[in-house]
């Protein structure tokens, strides 16, 4: 087993009396790509800032390579940060930005030149050495920020939503590049995002957070296939989450039916949440399955159809390549390993029901959407 | 309507600048009179630069202006950094305390400072404290708020993540100030210095009270010249002061305009 490079023990942080981090325990192995994933305001940036040394926890301990570093100031930590908005020095050119850390550490001049040249090549910025920061595009500034952070050879690199400001195409390219850089350097990356796809595709370990607490830590596969509660199941991908009762090992009852499953270790007749991923459901004719319902909406998504099915007044989402139509009665067939049974949690009943689901929902139900544009227009008119 | 507003503008300009125009005009008068123009000459300027008292006053003015603006720039910048770190409520209190002396009539500031200096002098057992030292202290005092006011907005605009980024790269706090903070607030510091320098050259009322007979600045020199026979060399000296102040103000404005353009460009680049 590799050694633990970062160890957070029961970290608590409050701002103005409000708990922002609530008992965070997190061990990170050397050389891993770890992603902190969670909705806005859940405490991701705060967790990074604890590790970087920019805030000290109200209680709890921070260990680096086995040593407690609660009181070690940021400038003495072997950790580098890529900030949410890059924070490049506007008064310095690209070369001087990248060389900053080495100059501060009084590295000999010729070694600085060598190391800067090396990272500039690594992030594909050759020829930009003399350019001013404000003459660079967002993507180029991003690369300068990466180069500046890795040239000092930190043991851990903290990245706070480094790709959030980039457009989709550039974002995908940078995901691959970052992953390559991490492999090349072999150092630990702690990466923050609220994009679940990004988290799943890049990480060795995903840490799902909500409300200042860690909900689940695991490999991307674990997080997707075995979410611990309704929050994680809903946040990572699409999922139907229904109330159920665990009759006995390998037998769960939901939607009025007893169905075979592969989960065990629950109490007899324990109330549970059952997660079924939309892509795991097979569409059959109604008499071939105990579960059946009426299709109320169908959307063509390219690779598959996405349909909302009303089963006993609970709306399910299914994804299928079979041709189905609105108003059709269909059967839903589930294999034992299509279901994942979770203990009840504070999140039970809050997620996983598609009764109010619509593609346009996010934008229609956003009250700020129209207002924003209006106020922008007003602001422009005033200028 | 437009005609009226134009005429109004012209009138205002005439009232504002007519006295100065007349003064400049007569500084080039060949004759001795301050009311009849007899021809162009530079003789009054020549006379000025041969007058020892005027030259020493010029020297004093420059020394006091440079020293007081330099010292108040250092103190004011340090104060601004401190004020910027206060919470909102404390910041308001401190800023009001700082701004108050600027609102205070110069004559009140002048007299109160004189009283303080004389009082302090009497405690130290001296009855002749007024002079270079007291003048310098007074100038530093009235310059300070202007420096603070021109540096503080630059500090507020500074991205706080820049400081963290420097620390992150291994730079301790005091080094970060010189390597990251100062270069990014430099335009405010320079503006503050120039403003302090200008105010210091310009000041008459406060200087009048806190300086003794042994130490004269140019504005004091002009005043003492008017008390004797009024010679046209006063015009020449006043013209020179007016022109230097004008140049300084233009430089300050150009610097500020340049800086705003730069900030605008950065804002656009950030988007
Ligand atoms: N300096 C601060 N003072 C007061 N509240 C703060 C401060 N910093 C963060 N918070 C609050 O703490 C909570 C968590 O903030 P944090 O920045 O860690 O969230 P995040 O997960 O990074 O969110 P996002 O995805 O929007 O960046 C938020 O509710 C935020 O308003
Ligand atoms: Mg954040």
Nearest to B184 among A53, A73, A91 (CB): A91
Write down the mean pLDDT value for chain A. 88
A215 vs A186: CA distance, rounded Å: 28
B250 vs A104: CA distance, rounded Å: 38
Evaluate: CB of A77 within 6 angstroms of ligand 1.
no
Residue of A nearest to B159 (CA): A87
**Residue B100 phi/psi, 5° resolution?**
-55, -50
Query: E strands along chain A, which residues?
Result: 4-15, 18-29, 33-37, 59-64, 67-68, 79-82, 156-160, 188-193, 205-210, 213-218, 240-248, 251-254, 257-260, 270-276, 282-284, 291-300, 305-311, 314-320, 329-333, 339-343
Q: Which residue, among B170, B179, B184, B261, would best test binding to A if mutated, counting the most A CBs under 10 Å from its CB? A: B170
State the ipTM, two decimals: 0.79
pLDDT at A369 over 50: no
Instruction: Please state the rounded mean pLDDT for residues B90-114.
Output: 90
Beta strand A213-218 pairing with A205-210: antiparallel
Atom of ligand 1 nearest to the CA of A16: 4
Q: Do B169 and A80 touch (CB under 8 A)?
A: yes
- Would you tell me the crossing angle of helices B132-157 and B88-103 to the nearest 10 degrees? 140
Among A77-81, A293-297, A360-364, the minimum mean pLDDT is found in A360-364
A148 vs A253: CA distance, rounded Å: 56
Cα A61 to averaged position of ligand 1 atoms, centre (Å):
20
pLDDT at A371: 42
The pLDDT-based confidence of B117 (bands split at 50, 70, 90) is: very high
- Whether residue A158 contacts residue A80, with contact meaning beta carbons closer than 8 Å, is answered with yes
pLDDT at A138: 87
The pLDDT-based confidence of A32 (bands split at 50, 70, 90) is: very high
B53 vs B59: CA distance, rounded Å: 10
A153 vs B170: CA distance, rounded Å: 12
Q: Which residues contact A205 (CB under 8 A, 6 or more apart)?
A: A28, A32, A33, A34, A35, A217, A218, A219
DSSP string across chain B: -HHHHHHHHHHHHHHHHHHHHHHHHHHTBSSS-SS----B--HHHHHHTT-HHHHHHHHHHHHHHHHHHHHHHHHHHHHHHHHHHS-HHHHHHHHHHHHHHHHS-HHHHHHHHHHHHHHHHHHTT-S--TTHHHHHHHHHHHHHHHHHHHHHHHHHHS-HHHHHHHHHTT--HHHHIIIIIHHHHHHHHHHHHHHHHHHHHH--HHHHHHS-TT---HHHHHHHHHHSS--THHHHHHHHHHHHHHHHHHHHHHHHHHHHHHHHHHHHHH-
* A135-153 pLDDT tens trace: 998 889 999 999 999 999 9
- Whether residue A60 contacts residue A47, with contact meaning beta carbons closer than 8 Å, is answered with no
Residue nearest to atom 6 of ligand 1 (CA): A15
Instruction: Please state the rounded mean pLDDT for residues B53-81.
Output: 94
Cα A21 to averaged position of ligand 1 atoms, centre (Å):
10
A360 vs A367: CA distance, rounded Å: 13
pLDDT at B38 over 50: yes
Instruction: Please state the rounded mean pLDDT for residues A282-306.
Output: 90
Which ligand number lies closest to the CA of residue A160? 2
pLDDT at B225: 83
| Rg of chain A in Å (alpha carbons) | 25
Nearest to B170 among A105, A133, A135 (CB): A105
CATH of domain B52-230: 1.10.3720.10
- Whether residue A75 contacts residue B168, with contact meaning beta carbons closer than 8 Å, is answered with yes
Instruction: Please state the rounded mean pLDDT for residues B177-203.
Output: 94
DSSP character for A171?
A: H
B45 vs B38: CA distance, rounded Å: 16
- Percent of chain A topping pLDDT 90: 68
Residues in chain A: 383
- Would you tell me the crossing angle of helices B233-270 and B218-227 to the nearest 10 degrees? 150
The pLDDT-based confidence of B44 (bands split at 50, 70, 90) is: confident
| Rg of chain B in Å (alpha carbons) | 23
Q: What are the extents of the domains in chain B?
A: 1-51+231-271, 52-230
Domains of chain A, each with CATH number or no CATH: 4-78+154-223+368-382 (3.40.50.300), 240-350 (2.40.50.140)
A356 vs A201: CA distance, rounded Å: 29
Q: Do A87 and B180 touch (CB under 8 A)?
A: no
A157-180 per-residue burial string, b: 16 or more CB within 10 A, e: under 16: bbbbbbbebbeeeebeebbebbbe
Residue of B nearest to A165 (CA): B271
pLDDT at A381 over 50: no
- Using a cut of 0.90, tell me whether the model's pTM lies above it: no
Among A5-14, A28-37, A254-263, the minimum mean pLDDT is found in A254-263
A28 vs A239: CA distance, rounded Å: 29
pLDDT at A379: 43
* A325-365 pLDDT tens trace: 888 999 999 999 999 999 998 888 888 788 766 544 444 44
- Whether residue A102 contacts residue A112, with contact meaning beta carbons closer than 8 Å, is answered with yes
Nearest to A87 among B162, B266, B269 (CB): B162
Residues in chain B: 271
The pLDDT-based confidence of A159 (bands split at 50, 70, 90) is: very high
The pLDDT-based confidence of A370 (bands split at 50, 70, 90) is: very low
The pLDDT-based confidence of B25 (bands split at 50, 70, 90) is: confident
pLDDT at A357: 62
pLDDT at A220: 95
């Amino acid at each position: 087993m590799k050694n633990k490079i970062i160890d957070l023990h029961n970290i608590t942080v409050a701002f103005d009396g409000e708990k922002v981090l609530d008992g965070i325990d997190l061990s990170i192995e050397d050389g891993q790509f770890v992603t902190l994933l969670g909705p806005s305001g859940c405490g991701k940036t705060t967790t990074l800032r604890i590790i970087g040394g920019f805030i000290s926890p109200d209680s709890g301990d921070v260990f680096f390579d086995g040593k407690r570093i609660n009181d070690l100031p940021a400038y003495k930590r072997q950790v580098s940060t890529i900030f949410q908005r890059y924070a490049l020095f506007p008064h310095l050119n690209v070369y001087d930005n990248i060389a900053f850390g080495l100059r501060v550490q009084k590295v000999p001049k010729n070694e600085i030149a060598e190391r800067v040249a090396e990272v500039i090549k690594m992030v594909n910025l050759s020829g930009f050495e003399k350019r001013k920061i404000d003459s660079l595009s967002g993507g180029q500034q991003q690369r300068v920020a990466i180069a500046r952070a890795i040239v000092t050879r930190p043991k851990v690199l903290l990245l706070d939503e480094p790709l959030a400001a980039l457009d989709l195409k550039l974002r995908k390219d940078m995901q691959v590049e970052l992953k390559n850089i991490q492999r090349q350097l072999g150092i630990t990356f702690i990466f923050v995002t609220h994009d679940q796809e990004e988290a799943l595709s890049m990480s060795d370990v995903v840490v799902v957070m909500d409300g200042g607490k860690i909900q689940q830590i695991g490999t991307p596969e674990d997080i997707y296939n075995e979410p611990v509660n309704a929050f994680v199941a809903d946040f990572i991908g699409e999922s139907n989450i229904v109330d159920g009762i665990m009759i006995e090992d390998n037998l769960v009852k939901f939607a009025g039916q007893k169905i075979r499953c592969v989960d065990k270790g629950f109490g007899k007749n324990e109330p549970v949440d059952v997660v079924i991923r939309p892509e795991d459901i097979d569409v059959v004719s109604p008499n071939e399955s105990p579960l059946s319902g009426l299709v109320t909406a169908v959307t063509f998504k390219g690779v598959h159809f996405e349909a909302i099915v009303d089963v006993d007044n609970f709306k399910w989402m299914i994804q299928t390549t079979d041709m189905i139509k609105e108003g059709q009665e269909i059967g839903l067939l589930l294999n034992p390993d299509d279901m994942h049974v979770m203990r009840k949690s504070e999140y039970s009943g809050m997620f996983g029901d598609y009764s109010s689901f619509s593609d346009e929902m996010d934008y229609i139900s956003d009250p700020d959407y129209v207002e924003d544009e209006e106020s922008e227009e007003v602001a422009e008119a005033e200028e | 309507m437009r005609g009226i507003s134009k005429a109004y503008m012209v009138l205002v300009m005439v009232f504002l600048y007519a006295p100065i125009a007349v003064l400049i005009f007569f500084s080039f008068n060949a004759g001795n009179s301050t009311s009849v123009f007899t021809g162009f000459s530079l003789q009054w300027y020549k006379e000025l630069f041969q007058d020892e008292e005027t030259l020493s006053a010029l020297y004093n003015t420059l020394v006091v202006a440079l020293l007081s603006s330099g010292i108040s720039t250092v103190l004011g910048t340090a104060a601004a950094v401190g004020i910027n770190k206060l919470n909102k409520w404390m910041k308001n209190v401190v800023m009001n305390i700082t701004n108050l002396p600027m609102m205070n009539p110069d004559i009140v500031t002048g007299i109160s400072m004189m009283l303080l200096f004389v009082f302090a002098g009497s405690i130290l057992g001296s009855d002749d404290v007024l002079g270079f030292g007291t003048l310098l202290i007074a100038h530093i005092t009235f310059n300070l708020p202007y420096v603070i006011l021109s540096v503080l907005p630059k500090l507020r605009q500074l991205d706080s993540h820049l400081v963290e980024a420097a620390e992150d790269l291994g730079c301790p706090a005091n080094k970060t100030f010189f390597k990251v903070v100062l270069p990014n607030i430099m335009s405010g510091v320079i503006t503050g210095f120039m403003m302090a320098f200008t105010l210091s050259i310009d000041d008459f009322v406060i200087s009048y009270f806190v300086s003794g007979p042994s130490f004269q600045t140019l504005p004091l020199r002009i005043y003492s010249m008017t008390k004797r026979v009024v010679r046209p060399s006063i015009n020449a000296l006043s013209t020179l002061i007016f022109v230097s102040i004008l140049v300084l103000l233009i430089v300050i404005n150009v610097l500020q305009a340049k800086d705003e353009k730069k900030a605008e460009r950065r804002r656009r680049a950030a988007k």
